[in-house]
Structures are given as C-alpha cells and as structure tokens.
Chains A and B, each alone.
Chain A
Amino acid sequence: MPKTMLELKIVSSSYGAIEALKGVSLRIEQGEIVTLIGANGAGKSTTLRSITGLVPPVSGDILFEGQRLNALPTHKIVALGISMAPEGRAIFANLTVAENLELGAYLQPDAAQNERQMDRVITLFPRLAERWRQQGGTLSGGEQQMLAIGRALMSRPRLLLLDEPSLGLAPLLVHTIFAAIDAINKEGTTILLVEQNANAALKHSHRAYVLETGSIVMEGPSQQLANDPRVREAYLGEK
C-alpha cells in the first residue's frame, strides 16, 4: 500500500468574490510525480497557493501526512516539509544567487547539512555555481528557474511544488529542467508539478489531474491521459 502524502478534500478557494477553486479533491502518494494540467486561469496556481497557505482555502481539507494545513501560516507549512518554486520564479533580484539559496534554508539550522544540500543543488544545476556572486535579477530566465528550484530544495522538502517551471524557456532548457525534476524525484522527493506544457508534464509524471475552471475534470495515470482523445485534443494541440 503506498502511503498518502498530500490529500485535498473538496477544497474551495477564492479571491474576494472570485471563486477560483470549486471543490478540488486530489491525492499524492509518497514518491510520486503528480502533474496538474489545465488551461490558463483554470486554478492550477491557486491550488498550489492554497496548499502553501498563501491563499487559505475557504472550505475543504488539506492534509499533509495526516496533518490539517488549512489554518496554518505559510512558514509553518514550509517547516513541515513542503516547498514551492512559484510561478514567475519570484527570485530575490536584489540578492545574490548564494543569498537566494541561503534563504531557501532559512528554517534549517544545521550549517553543515546546508552546505551539503547546496552542493547537491550545484550538482543538479552547475550553471548556478558560475553565477554565485551575481544578483538574482541579472540571471537569464532559465537560470532563474534553476535558482527557484534550487532554492526550494534548500529546505530539503519531502514535497516539492513546482508552478510552470518550463514557462517561457527555450526547448533545450525545458529539457534540462525536466531532467532535473526526474533526478530530484529519483532521490526521493515527492513532486506536484503544475504545467501548461501538458506534453512534457505527462511524459515526466506518474499520475495526472486535469483542472478546468476550478474543478478536476479528469484524472488517471499520465500514460493513460496522454492517450485520451479528449486530452489530446484539448491539451496536446491535436485535432
């Protein structure tokens, strides 16, 4: 029996009067890469923001290893072992690459452990080492994405949330990012991957959910969804 890591039960979230999530339920088992695909504005980012407490849900339950996250502030959720590389990267442009990574380990007191984790991040993205003392804002889009993922890894999360990591990147960089996602998962980190690039996301995940205007409309093994005619037409650009 696989162990459930994260579970959303009929979660609704809103921005003022706009209801962005309308009773979303999903489940992530330990060790999986689960992807959440859907069109622009479907509520993918809101799902991640609800999990991390940036947009606290209005109703429903969010359970992480059995613990209810709903009422917790973001920093406590991060302390439990969830980490997120947000949409648009949100790199601290006025801080150096090294400082960005240090902040990723803000809650980790063990300096030696952090050093080792930094080495792991550099092994994953050697490019970051070349930019070490540069301000985050001077990095290219691809490098910023590497930094965003690396920074999220610095807290040694058990669950990593990635919001459109391939957005706006050249094909070669998209390949690098997805290779890194596979590698991170192989080392034991569970991943929830939000993507508009459904093609790549379905290729690099175990299971998938399809979100449409705030509701889950389909779910299943990624392989299976990739072959589903409806998915192929709506999200993989086939007629």
Chain B
Amino acid sequence: MATFLQQLINGISQGSAYALIALGYTMVYGVLRLINFAHGDVYMFGAYMGFYLANNKWIQSNVGTSTAGAVVVMVGAMALSAGLGIVIERFAYRPGRSGARFTLAFWLGIVGAGIGHLVHPSLISLAIGALGGILVGVILEQTGLRPVRQNSRLSLLIIAIGVSLVLENGGQQVFGVDPKFFPQIISTTLWHVGELTIDSQKVIVLAVSILLMLLLNLFVKYTRTGKAMRAVSFNLDAARLMGINTDRIIALTFAIGSALAAAGGILVSLLYPKIDPLMGIMPGLKAFVAAVLGGIGNITGAMLGGLIVGMAEVMAVGYGQSTYRDAIAFIILILILLLKPAGIMGKGVVEKV
C-alpha cells in the first residue's frame, strides 16, 4: 500500500509535467489543426534557458538562490521560450499557412539536409540532401501541386519536422552535445509521513503545474482574449468576422504553449537534472500521446491525458516493468486509437475543410 501511494505521488508529479507540455500541443492544434512536432524541442529550449538563467552571475548575486531566484529563473525561461514560440509561428508556420513563395523549398532543403546527414554523416551528403530538398520544393511550387497550396497539411508537417531539426541541431551547436546538469534552484527536503517519503521537489512540481493550469483555465474561460482564442479554435472565419485579429491570437497561442512547455522543462529538470539538446524528443512524444488521449484540441483533456500517461509510466516502472517505460505511452496511443480515436474528452473532431 505504501509503495502504491509512493508511486501515486511520483506518477502525479511526472504526469503533471507531461500535462504542461500536452497543453501546447492541444492549444496549437485547436487554432491551427496542426501537430507542432517542434514542441518537444521548445521544452528542451526552456530547460536550457532555465539552466543559463540559474547560472547567471547577475541573477545569482542580485536575487540569490532563494525562492525568489527560482521564480525569476522560471518566469524568465518561460518568457524566452514564449518568444521562441512566436518566432516559430511567425517565420515558419505563418509563411507555410499563406503558401508564401519558396517556403516549402526552404524547409524541404532543411529536411533534406537532415536526411542526407542521417544517411552519411558528412558535409557533402548533407549538401546533396539539402539541394535535393530545395529542388523538390521548387518543382512542387512551380507545378502548383497540392503541398504548396494555402494551409496544406503536408506542407505544414514538413515545416514542423524542419523546425524540429533546426532546434535540435542548433541546440547541439549552441548548448553543446554533452549533457549539462541543471542546478538545484530550490533545496530539497524529504518529508516522512508514516512509511511514505515525500520529496518536496515533487510537491513543488505538482503545485506549480496545478497553478499554471488553473491560470490557463481562468484565462481561457474569462478573459476577452481567452474567449477570442476559443472562438478561433472553433471557427477561424467566424472569429475573423468578430473583428478578431486571428494571426495575433495564433501567435499568442504559440507563446502560451511554449511558455508552459518551458515550465515543464524546468520542473522535470528539478527531478531529473540531466539536460541535453535531444531531451525533448521523448517527453514531446509522450505529451503528444497525452494530448491525443485527452482528445486533441481539448484543454481539460490534455491535463487529464498527461496525468494518465505519467501515472501509467511510473506505475509500470514501479512494478518492475522498467524496460517498457518508454513503450507505455505508445501502448496507450495504440489503445486509444483503437478504442476511442477522439480521445476521452473529445466529442468527435470537427474537421475543417
């Protein structure tokens, strides 16, 4: 029983971090019907921003390593990641949505370079891949085939993969390939309750996650901008007719989703302090599963989905199936796609034409 409770606590804190990331997927899907596959990398970016802010001498000497310091690190990293989210939307997805010239060629070039490098890790292979990608993109554009039309999903998917490649490789260049260790920005206390040991970090992860989700809910439900966001996710054209600047709402959605992912990145780094430029891939995929599980586009669903995925994972590990840890999320994905593709909170996806 005690082990079970222990696992429950671990599962909830892990799950709440997944929930934070899943929110970004689900909100962006809500407004754009796009799975932003670069979202996991924004989570990584957030963790690194937290790392650099926490190690910043000025912040250390002026704010200290107190709670205030932790708050500065958290909020700062969230703000910087929100900025990254806006940049991604503005310079990658928006040109893709409007079918701007050479957008597809550019991103196919990047994806091509990635593939080239994967086939053979040399500069020549990379260049050949890039040129091949650009060529395909230009040809597609000249012939006016499907992928270059406005809002083409294939084109947006290619952009998403390209952005993800840029962030992961850029991360390796800028932050370094080797893992770094996230500083203890908040000291750990172990509380003993009966047979249970409760780690104060886990409580903090849970509390901060709940606080952020609560704030998000209040924002979306009661503010004018939050209502505009719901309107955009329900019907883009109708939202425009209300006088809503939908591009601005979409950018804001990316900003909020990215800030939440950054918060997730820092919270997880409190528990597992090893960070590296590819750290976003797995949690990104798991949070995506969480979003699908909850019913993609549904905010409450993403929170619930995150908790379930985190819980299932921790329970599996706790009961000796640790080799399957990363497989759990995918088993859940397969089950949900078989049993209830719309997700637990989904009312059936209202497809946009």
User: A-side interface residues toward B, CB under 8 Å?
Assistant: 16, 52-54, 73-75, 78-79, 83-84, 86, 90-95, 99, 102-104, 106-107, 151-152, 155
Main secondary structure of the interface of B (DSSP, over half): helix
* Alpha-carbon distance A52/B242, docked complex (angstroms): 11
Q: Show 29 residue pairs from A and B whose CB-CB distance is below 8 angstroms, ordered by the A residue.
A: A52-B240, A53-B240, A54-B240, A73-B240, A73-B245, A74-B241, A75-B240, A75-B243, A75-B244, A75-B245, A78-B240, A78-B241, A78-B242, A84-B241, A86-B241, A91-B238, A92-B230, A92-B234, A93-B234, A95-B227, A95-B230, A95-B231, A102-B224, A103-B227, A103-B228, A106-B224, A106-B244, A152-B241, A155-B242
- Tell me if A's interface is mostly helix, strand, loop or mixed: loop
Contacts A94-B230, A99-B227; A106 near B242 (Cβ below 8 A): yes
Contact B235 A90 (CB under 8 A): yes
Please name all residues of chain A whose beta carbon is closer than 8 Å to the beta carbon of B230 when the two chains form the complex. Answer: 92, 94-95
Complex contacts, A90 vs chain B, CB 8 Å: 235, 237-238, 241
Q: Contact: A107 with B238, CB < 8 Å? A: no
Rounded to whole Å, the gap between the CB of B128 and the closest CB of chain A is: 34
**Smallest beta-carbon distance A71→chain B, Å:** 14
Interface pair A106/B243, CB less than 8 Å apart = yes
**Contact status B149-A16, CB under 8 Å:** yes
Q: How far is the CA of A91 from the CA of B238 in the complex (A)?
A: 8
B234 cross-chain contacts in A, Cβ below 8 A: 92-95
Q: Which residues of A contact B235 (CB under 8 A)?
A: 90, 92
Q: B16 at interface (Cβ–Cβ under 8 A)?
A: no
In the complex, which residues 24-79 of chain B have their Cβ closer than 8 Å to any Cβ of chain A? none
Q: Which residues of chain A have C-beta atoms less than 8 A from B224's C-beta?
A: 102, 106
Q: Give Cα A179–Cα B228 distance, bound, in whole angstroms.
A: 31
Cα–Cα, bound, A103→B239 (Å): 8
Interface flags for B227-263 (1: CB within 8 Å of A; 0: not) read: 1101100110111111111110000000000000000
Q: Which residues of B are at the interface with A, using a C-beta cutoff of 8 A? A: 149, 224, 227-228, 230-231, 234-235, 237-247
Bound form: Cα–Cα A41–B343 in Å = 37
Residue of A nearest to B350 (CB): A93
Q: How far is the CB of A212 from chain B (nearest CB, A)?
A: 25
Residue numbers in B under 8 Å from A94 (CB-CB): 230, 234
Q: How far is the CB of B200 from chain A (nearest CB, A)?
A: 39
Bound state CA distance, A84 and B246, in angstroms? 17
- A54 nearest in chain B by CB position: B237
Q: How far is the CA of A95 from the CA of B224 in the complex (A)?
A: 12
Report Cα–Cα, A103/B227, bound state, in Å: 8
Which of the listed residues A75, A86, A95, A102 has the most CB atoms from chain B within 10 Å of its own CB?
A75
Picked from B227, B228, B243, B247, the residue with its CB within 8 Å of the CB of A78 is B243
Nearest chain A residue, comparing its CB with the CB of B245? A75
What's the nearest-Cβ distance from chain A to residue B41, in Å?
30
Q: Which residues of B contact A103 (CB under 8 A)?
A: 227-228, 231, 239, 242, 244
With A and B bound together, what is the CA distance between A73 and B94 in angstroms? 15
A91–B239 alpha-carbon span in the complex (Å): 10
Distance, CA A103 to CA B223, complexed state (A): 11
Determine the distance from Cα of A53 to Cα of B234 in the docked complex, in whole angstroms. Answer: 19
Distance of A43 Cα from B247 Cα, bound (Å) = 27
Residues of chain B contacted by A53 (CB below 8 angstroms): 240
A75 to B234, CA, bound (A): 17
CB distance from B166 to the nearest CB of A (A): 29
* Nearest Cβ on chain A to B94's Cβ, whole angstroms: 13
Q: Once bound together, how far apart are the Cα atoms of A86 and B238, in whole Å?
A: 8
Chain A nearest CB, measured from B350 CB (Å): 9
CA–CA, A92 to B236, complex, Å? 10
Nearest-Cβ distance from residue B153 to partner chain A, whole angstroms: 16
Nearest to B234 among chain A residues (CB) is A92
Q: Are A92 and B243 touching (Cβ within 8 A)? A: no
Nearest-neighbor residue (CB-CB) of A84 within chain B = B241
The smallest beta-carbon distance between A57 and chain B, in angstroms, is 16
